[in-house]
Amino acid sequence: MQENINAFLRVLDATDNSTGGGTASSVAGAMAAGLTAMVARLSMDKKDLAPTRIYQSIAEEAEILSTELFKGGQEDAAAFDLVTTAYKMPKDTAADKDARTRAIQKAMVHAAEVPLSNAGRCKRVLDLCQRLKESFNTNAASDLECAVYLATAGMKGCAANVRINLPYIKDRRVCKDIENRLELIETNTNFEYRNSKQILKTEFSNG
C-alpha cells in the first residue's frame, strides 16, 4: 500500500520527472471505482430499486478494481523506471549493446502492457457504472457522474501512455497486438460513456 501511495505522491511532486500521466490516469480510475462502489452500497435496501444482491455484486467488483488500479499506478511508475534503467546499461562492446537492446525492448513492451491493463480496468469500471444507471439511488447521481468522468479520463490517459511507447517496440507483431487490444477497449468505452451521460442528464432533468 505504501508503494502505491508513494507513486501517487510522486505525481503531485512537480520536481519528479519520472512519474506522470500513466500513474495519474490509473489513480483516476481507482477513484472512479471507489465512487462506483459507494453508489452501489448507497442503493442497497432501497424501495423500488433492484435487489440488494445486484448492488452487492457491483460494489464488490468495483472495490477490487479500485485496489487493482491504485496498485496499477505504482506499477506504471515502476515500468518507467525499468525503461530508464535499460537505457542506462553499458554499450561499450557488441555484447553490451545486444543486452541493452534486448532489455530496452522488454521494458518498452512492459511499459505499454501496464497502462493497457489499467485502461481495461477503467473500461470495466464504466461497465459497472452502466449497470448502476439502470437503477440506483439518485441522491448519489453526482457521485456516479464523477465516477463516469474519472473512469473515462483514466481510460483515455492510460491509452495515451500505451501509444507513446508503441513506436519504440521493434516487434511489429507485438505492437499490432497491443494496438488492436487498445482499440477494442476504446471503442467499447466510448459507446458506454455516451449512453451513461445521456442517462445522467435524464436523471437530473426529472429531479
Tens digits of residue pLDDT in 160-187: 999 999 999 999 999 999 999 999 999 8
- Binning pLDDT at 50, 70 and 90, where does residue 197 land? low
Spatial contact of 26 and 76, defined as CB atoms under 8 Å apart: yes
Q: Quick one: the chain helix, strand, coil %, rounded to 5? A: 85, 0, 15
Residue 44 φ/ψ, nearest 5 degrees: -70, 145
Cell numbers linked to 104: 530496452
Q: How many domains does the chain have?
A: 1
Q: What pLDDT score was predicted for residue 12?
A: 55
Residue 49 φ/ψ, nearest 5 degrees: -105, 180
* pLDDT tens per residue across span 26-75: 999 999 999 999 999 999 999 889 999 999 999 999 999 999 999 999 99
Spatial contact of 105 and 171, defined as CB atoms under 8 Å apart: yes
pLDDT higher than threshold 90 for residue 114:
yes
Q: What pLDDT score was predicted for residue 144?
A: 93
Range of the domain at 43: 2-206
pTM: 0.86
pLDDT higher than threshold 80 for residue 191:
no
Q: What CATH number did the domain enclosing 40 receive?
A: 1.20.120.680
